[in-house]
Amino acid sequence: MLSLVVILFSLIVASVIITTIVTELQQPVRAQVKSLSTPMLQEFVVPSGSQPHDVAPAPDGTIWYTAQGSGQLGRLDPSTGKTHNIALGQGSAPHGVIVGPDGAPWITDGGLNAIVRVDPVTEKVQVFPLPQNSSYANLNTATFDNSGVMWFTGQSGIYGRFDPSVGKVEVFKAPGGSGPYGIATTPKGSIYYASLAGNHIAHIDSKTRNASMIQPPTDNQGARRIWSDSQGRLWVSEWNAGKMALYNPTTSKWQEWRLPGTSPMPYAIYVDDKNMVWLSDFGANARVRLHPTKEKFDVFPLPSAGANVRQILGRSGEIWGAESGVDKLVVIRTV
């Protein structure tokens, strides 16, 4: 009997020792993963029917998003997961949203055919309609130049300008007709847009306000979104071609890469503060990252099928997207 007790006691001690060793071995593994800054993905549910199209992280921690399906601007608090929606007006169908130099969200609203500003504190809505002689523009996205002037696109074949200090909206016919979609500002303040239907990108001269077309090497590529890196080079998502392109304005040279997978459909594109290039791929239902110097892709599958991320924006350590197909927002944390 005594020997049986001794054996049982020995087994218990051995079990405790083994458990302690395993626990101690697991702790460094967790620390190692954290030190490698493996991206962590998280989704946030927004109200049903929102159909979030674009998303814009604000410096105060707020995440703004356009609820295109309900005609509202959404406000997410990532720390709690709670959302709050702001009605933009009868007939609103907001497409793009960005945070302006004044810290407020600015919206390109296709339904209202207007530029909209929402005060981040009072939530007061200001609507700046396109000129009365303007037809339906199918407003898309916007960017601010280094002078605080907004430039925007409309797929019906226009690009435009809005100076908040004056309150005047100007509209110009785009060369090449319909298609202007994504738009971006380089660090030096140059403005470029991508034309989806026109299969080109274009540079806007902020002084003359004229736009000059620039042709990518692949025909009918479907240049959809565009973003600048810290060097002023332009990265373009080519929707029809399944490629990502790089245009260097200094040398006028192009490079292209086909995304991984059998049927890539790159939609959104964004360059983070570390010059990593991020895309959304409808074909793979994934977020894709390119390391420019290594020319290596990393693919991050999205947990929700049919997510349809139409736009990406970020802030340090966070890459946000709007999952229009499933009424969710998604963030990849890189730190």
Q: Which two tokens stand for residue 19?
A: 């458990």
pLDDT at 18 over 80: no
CA angle 131, 134, 138 (to 5 degrees): 110
CA angle 86, 92, 94 (to 5 degrees): 75
d(CA 118, CA 134): 23
pTM above 0.85, yes or no: yes
Q: What pLDDT is recorded for position 23?
A: 29
Residues 6+ apart with CB under 8 A from 232: 186, 187, 188, 190, 249, 250
CA angle 97, 101, 104 (to 5 degrees): 50
Distance (Å, whole) CA 220 – CA 213: 14
Question: Is pLDDT at 53 greater than 60 in this prediction?
Answer: yes
High-pLDDT (> 90) share of the chain, %: 87
Does residue 223 surpass a pLDDT of 90? yes
The whole-angstrom separation of Cα 93 and Cα 87 is 10
Q: Provide CB contacts within 8 A for 240, sequence distance 6+.
A: 199, 220, 221, 222
Burial 208-240 (b: 16+ CB within 10 A, else e): eeebeebebebeebbbbbbbbbeebbbbbbbbb
Q: Phi/psi of residue 149, each to 5°?
A: -95, 135
Mean pLDDT of 68-90: 98
pLDDT (0 to 100) of residue 36: 33
Assess contact for 220 and 242: CB atoms under 8 A: no
DSSP-assigned beta bridge partners for residue 206: none
Q: How far apart, in whole angstroms, are the C-alpha atoms of residue 82 and residue 272?
A: 26
User: Higher model confidence: residue 286 or residue 10?
Assistant: 286
- For the cut 70, the answer to whether the pLDDT of residue 289 exceeds it is yes
Residue-averaged pLDDT of the chain: 90
Query: Is the pLDDT assigned to residue 170 strictly greater than 70?
Result: yes
Integer Cα distance of 58 and 315 in angstroms: 8
- In percent, the amount of the chain with pLDDT more than 70 equals 89
Cβ contacts of residue 132 below 8 Å, gap of 6+?
Answer: none
Cα 34 to its chain centre, rounded Å, is 25
